[in-house]
Structure 1
Amino acid sequence: MLGKNGKVVALFLVLGLYMSALAGCGKGTAQKEYDFYIFNGKSENAEAFEKLVEVYQAETGKKVKLFSLGTSDVLETLRTEMNSKEKPTIFSIGAGAAREWQEGGFVLDLAEEGIPELKVLADSIPEGMRLQTEAGENLGIPYNVEGYGLIVDKRMLGELFGLEQADGIVADFKAAGYGEFRAFVEAVDGYIKNETAGTVLLNGNTYTLADQMTERTAALNGVFAVAGAERWTYGDHFSNYALNAVFGSLAAARSATEEQVEQMRSPLRKSIEAYGFKTDHIAGPEGSLERGPELINSTKTGYDQVVQTFAEGKALFIKQGNWIYPNVRKLDETVAENSTILPMKLPFADEDIQVEGLTAEKFNRSIPEFVAQYYSINRKVEETEQVAAQEFLVWLNTTETGQRFIVEEFAFVPFNASADTRLENPLSTDLIVYMREGNVLSNPFNGAPTSWGPESYGKFMMENLLVKEVWTQEDVDAMVETCITQWKELSSY
């Protein structure tokens, strides 16, 4: 038995252990000197994000830990952080990495969970722009919207037809069908090569090419600047037109059935033939350019080279995205400021379109827009952190201050931009217009089997068609069969 002194000693020992336990708990909580932790995978906006966090902390009293990556190895760094004691609460991921984090149980599905305000925000994301590994999911809030189409200098377009203002012809071009587009290209090509003036119809309205060339129009070498050396421009972005006829989203393409793959045959054939027409009218840096070895020569048709060809006024159109604005501006600020995005036209009929609510007419009024990265919320951190992170994303995407940072400081295109949103980059402002009109296609090319775009479509196009001056129907059929067969093989049907 313990004596009186022994009982006192024992009591102090118990109290000491209890206090140590409390101290240990307190220490564990104190290790996190923040309310939530943001892992930002874009180094380009790191400085602006720091300013944003400072403003948010001052406004809300919340403490935010921010880590912006300074290298390109985003995924590996994120994996390391996810295995640490202090896991990110908000982390940035692209569509390609979503499955890894979803299957690992890290991603909060905003279609099913979240505070009411965030669910409302998530529900407002257009279906084709949602981060999904399968239909019905909503795994993140978009960082930034990107999109592409036929970029044109409105001054050049106006001068071709003797117009002081190009707004009318731009509007009619947007509404034009493939037949009018084809006749337009042939008329402009003849004007460039032979100074043969004529008339064209766009949206049923007549436009007459100017009797005399201006200094600017006389410098044109062709209709299209084509990046033949860059497989992604056709293996990903041009194949995407055919895929949009069958799949309304990335997730739909990722879960494609064998029947849907067969439905790709006609859109693929027609898109390949349309690319053949496009490459019949190429502008090179010194003159017109023909299909052949030169078309896949990176010194003439690499990305930088074709952007330069367009910026120098040697091509009327370039099929590219809003991301080329800084490059064009460095070469010619006036061209950059007067550029706009028009829809690429495809010879699809309604029977080629399998996406509900989409028609061939609407398809040819629309441009592909998509999201490269998303803010996702980590389900594996404490619930208080998750709630704090959700409140931040609502603030960022709905308040005047948050929207100002997205548009002005980040120079991003918000997915929920209002009709009044204006950006320095006019091509980005165009994306907002198409979104507001509902004339938007998606990015099913990102849901195609790995390597299908650059290899099955892109490599075949580069090695077998772009080097040939004349294409036969057998050439086109062989490419279609390759694309269909390899999709099935890569998907293990």
Structure 2
Amino acid sequence: MNVNSRNRHYARKKWTVVAAVLTLGASLLSGCGSREAKAPTDYDFYIFNGKTENAEALDKVVDRYEQETGLTVKVFSLGTTDSAETLRAEMNSSGKPAIFSTNIGGVTEWAESGAILDLNDASDPELKALAEDVPEALRLSVDGTQNYGIPYNIEGYGLIVDTRMVRDLFGDDQTQPFLDDFQAATYDEFETLVNAVGDYIAAGTAPSVKLNGRSYAFASRKTELTSRLTGVFAEAGAEKWTYGDHMGNMALNAVFGSAVVARTATEEQVDELQAPLAKLARTLDLYSTHAAGPDGPMERGPSYINSTTASYDVSVQLFSSGKALFIKQGNWVYPNIAKLNTDILPTLTFLPIKLPLEQSDIQVDGLTVEKFNRSVPEFVPSYYAINAKVTPREQELAQQFLVWLNTSEKGRQAIVEDFQFIPYNVDDTVKFDNALNNSLIQYKLDGDTLSNPFNGSPAGGGYWGQEVLGSILQERYYNRAGAWTADDYETIAREAVQGWKDVMY
């Protein structure tokens, strides 16, 4: 989960090489360590897979492909810890992979070395069409003109809630209306709701609240479930990626429509982050003053950022045991929750993260405050890329495999059932046992999604989000008791913007 600190004065082109595997999804999923390759001595083409969590499933899928085609395929899967160096070694070996894993952090390295095929120039017309169907905001590119990869899958995050808790707070017949109205609610309505839930937790009573203009009254008495609540949010103050990366990404979405746009931003565009980041600080103030602890509220101060009391694992435990109404996490958290409380799994869903933005804060064409506040970030953590330095035959076979994987019945079935991945070209026929995956699919089908511009921030995402914004928050604000002021919000934003510019310009 941790990202190594980096020198603040990297040259503009160097940081993308250093951060080759530092994407949001790769940082947050626990794929570490390697496994033995499915490695025949003689093979037709070679796949280098950088996602350990789908290693066994990929072996099974390739077995089916071999049986169907008569080809022999070498597969090597490696965890995220050292995959950048191992991939470099493989790409420079005599037995180069024809398909390899990369991401927005690593693409510049391979583009500059001429080792990645622009799928705009693919020789297989089916693969070329498949690549053209990847939405622009999800494309793997250096400057927005190329299309270098086919997405492994889509991941996303938001406020996860157990809908049974909503039922017990507001009544069974109010559950679905509440979820619908929450999505459409303004930030001010959200803030009022958070404060009211905090009052209800403390005193067992609170005034009714409005979401999307509709009133919701709290239950007259607590149930066994709502009696467990100790706070509104399960926070992980020890984990800078949860607020530096995730929440920082929310503010960046107001200015940058994609990671590519963020990576190529001018200094003037970076200055436009001041207002959204100040609004983000206000939101983080709200979250951190309504955090759940094991036996009562979690107060800001040393324990709020201590790894034994405020880690990722602790936050998941608090949410899974019903101590918090919300946890801000992604669909990758589902297996962790499953280990702790299987009862909660069918009733989980995503709700959008809201910021108190004004329309003047938003610089992305076509994005309104209303759309921003009803949307969730969805993004591609890894891509399949084709090595332009292998033989033409290997390139052709690699293209055919990616077409089969993403268009054939067996291939698409494998993505959903074996990998348990949300396809980037998902449609309404795809259903999972995983309720969080299904929730993300619905947001995508509704067109209510944001992007991952944080992956285009200095040093590939992890550095700015954690070592700049995250460190400001953790070391100077979460670490002390007392109220934050409007001046604090502006200071956090100003220093985060300056931290970006210190690295980039």
Would the TM-score normalized by the shorter structure come out above 0.5?
yes
Q: Distance in 1 between matches of 2:123 and 2:236?
A: 44
Q: Find the counterpart in structure 1 of residue 21 from structure 2.
A: none
Q: Distance in 2 between matches of 1:71 and 1:266?
A: 35
Matched, 1:470 2:483: yes
Matched, 1:479 2:492: yes
Q: Distance in 2 between matches of 1:66 and 1:293?
A: 46
Q: How far apart are residue 458 of structure 1 and its match?
A: 0.4
The one-character-per-residue Cα deviations of 1:127-162 (angstroms, maximum 9, x if unpaired) are: 222112211221101112111100000001111002
The one-character-per-residue Cα deviations of 1:310-352 (angstroms, maximum 9, x if unpaired) are: 0000100010111111111111101122111110111111111
The count of aligned residue pairs is 462
Query: For 1:302, which of 264, 289, 311 is the aligned residue?
Result: 311
| 1:145 and 1:413 in contact (8 A); partners too | yes
Matched, 1:56 2:68: no
Q: Distance in 2 between matches of 1:79 and 1:166?
A: 51
Matched, 1:247 2:256: yes
Q: Distance in 2 between matches of 1:288 and 1:184?
A: 17
Q: How far apart are residue 389 of structure 1 and its match?
A: 0.9
Q: How far apart are residue 68 of structure 1 and its match?
A: 2.0
Q: Find the counterpart in structure 2 of residue 121 from structure 1.
A: 130
Q: Find the counterpart in structure 2 of residue 489 from structure 1.
A: 502
Q: Distance in 1 between matches of 2:60 and 2:122?
A: 29
| 1:92 and 1:375 in contact (8 A); partners too | yes
| 1:40 and 1:91 in contact (8 A); partners too | yes
Q: How far apart are residue 163 of structure 1 and its match?
A: 1.6
Q: Find the counterpart in structure 1 of residue 147 from structure 2.
A: 138
Report the AA paired with residue 81 of structure 1.
Answer: E
Report the AA paired with residue 466 of structure 2.
Answer: P
Q: Distance in 1 between matches of 2:236 and 2:420?
A: 26
Q: How far apart are residue 467 of structure 1 and its match?
A: 2.2
Matched, 1:325 2:338: no
SS of 1:295's equivalent in the other structure is helix
Query: For 1:455, which of 448, 455, 467 is the aligned residue?
Result: 467
| 1:154 and 1:166 in contact (8 A); partners too | yes
SS of 2:479's equivalent in the other structure is coil
Report the AA paired with residue 487 of structure 2.
Answer: E
TM (norm. structure 1) is 0.91
Q: Find the counterpart in structure 1 of residue 9 from structure 2.
A: none
Query: For 1:230, which of 231, 239, 248 is the aligned residue?
Result: 239
Q: Distance in 2 between matches of 1:419 and 1:405?
A: 17
Report the AA paired with residue 484 of structure 1.
Answer: V
| 1:32 and 1:86 in contact (8 A); partners too | no
Report the AA paired with residue 478 of structure 2.
Answer: L
Aligned-pair identity in percent equals: 53
Stretch deviating more after TM superposition (478-487 or 82-91): 478-487
Q: How far apart are residue 382 of structure 1 and its match?
A: 1.4
Q: Find the counterpart in structure 2 of residue 163 from structure 1.
A: 172
Q: How far apart are residue 182 of structure 1 and its match?
A: 1.1
**Structure 2: where are the runs of 5+ without partners?**
1-39
Trace 1:276-315 onto structure 2 (pairs within 5 A): 276-315=285-324
Provide the aligned C-alpha RMSD in A: 1.5
Q: How far apart are residue 464 of structure 1 and its match?
A: 1.1
Q: Distance in 2 between matches of 1:71 and 1:313?
A: 32
TM (norm. structure 2) is 0.89
Q: How far apart are residue 61 of structure 1 and its match?
A: 2.5
SS of 1:157's equivalent in the other structure is helix
Q: Distance in 1 between matches of 2:464 and 2:205?
A: 42
| 1:36 and 1:65 in contact (8 A); partners too | yes
Q: How far apart are residue 165 of structure 1 and its match?
A: 6.5
Trace 1:135-214 onto structure 2 (pairs within 5 A): 135-163=144-172, 166-214=175-223
| 1:197 and 1:211 in contact (8 A); partners too | no
**Structure 1: where are the runs of 5+ without partners?**
1-30
| 2:182 and 2:351 in contact (8 A); partners too | yes
Stretch deviating more after TM superposition (35-44 or 312-321): 35-44
Trace 1:29-48 onto structure 2 (pairs within 5 A): 33-48=42-57
| 1:223 and 1:283 in contact (8 A); partners too | yes
Trace 1:246-395 onto structure 2 (pairs within 5 A): 246-395=255-404
